[in-house]
Amino acid sequence: MALKATIFKASVQVSDTDRNYYQSHALTLARHPSETDERMMMRLLAFALNAHEHLTFGKGLSTDDEPDLWRKDLTGAIEQWIDVGQPDEKRMRRACGRANDVVVYSYGASGAAMWRESIRDTLTRSRNLAVIAVPPAASQAMAKLADKTMALTYTIQDGEVWVANEKDTVPVKPERLLTA
C-alpha cells in the first residue's frame, strides 16, 4: 500500500519591508512521504520571500513538469517558477524557457555546495535565473518549527528573514549566488 501525503495547515503572516508586502495567508501543504520537514519549511520560506496573491504550490515531488511554487498570469503564462533544493540542469533550463523568472532556493549541508559549483558555469547563461543559498543551520532550525498546524510570522528586512512561531525565532540570511 502506497503512503499518502501528510497535510499541514499554516497560517502565515508576511511582513516584507523590502517589497512593501504585508499580508496574511492561510496555506495548506501536502508533504510527500519522502519529503523532510526541512524541505517543507524551505517551501514555506520560498513562499514568504516571493509572496503574491497568485503564488501557489505545485503538485510536489512526484510531478516533474511543475515547480515547488509558481505564479501564473491571467492567461496561464508562467510568470515565476520557484524550485527548492538541487534541481538538475535540464530541469532548470526547461524552467528558464517556460517562465519569465526562475528562482532556486538551495539548502542543506550534504552536496549543496558541490551542486552549486557544478551548475555555476552552465547556468550563468540563463538571464532569468536566480540561485539563492540558505545556510544549513538556518534550514535545520526552521525544520524544528514544523507542526501539523502552524502559525508563522516571516519578517523580511534588508535581505534578512526572521521566521517565528509562538515560542521560537529563527534568523535566516539567504545568500544570492546568481542573480537574474
- Domain residue ranges in the chain: 7-178
User: In this model, does residue 62 exceed pLDDT 70?
Assistant: no
Tell me the three cell numbers of residue 74. Answer: 491571467
Tell me the three cell numbers of residue 5. Answer: 501525503
SS (H, E, C) the chain: CCCCCEEEEEEEEEEECCCCEEEEEEEEEEECCCCCHHHHHHHHHHHHHCCCCCEEECCCCCCCCCCCEEEECCCCCEEEEEEECCCCHHHHHHHHHHEEEEEEEECCCCCHHHHHHHHHHHHCCCCCEEEEECCHHHHHHHHCCCCCEEEEEEEEECCEEEEECCCCEEEECCEEEECC
Cβ contact 161:172 at 8 Å: yes
Cβ contact 66:80 at 8 Å: no
User: In this model, does residue 1 exceed pLDDT 60?
Assistant: no
The model carries a pTM of 0.93
Q: How confident is the model at residue 117 (pLDDT cuts 50, 70, 90)?
A: confident
The CATH architecture one would assign to domain 7-178 is: Roll (3.10)
Residue bearing cell 515547480? 67
Q: How confident is the model at residue 115 (pLDDT cuts 50, 70, 90)?
A: confident
**What is the model's pLDDT at position 60?**
67
Cβ contact 67:100 at 8 Å: no
User: In this model, does residue 116 exceed pLDDT 90?
Assistant: no
Cβ contact 122:90 at 8 Å: no
Q: What is the mean pLDDT of residues 28-44?
A: 93
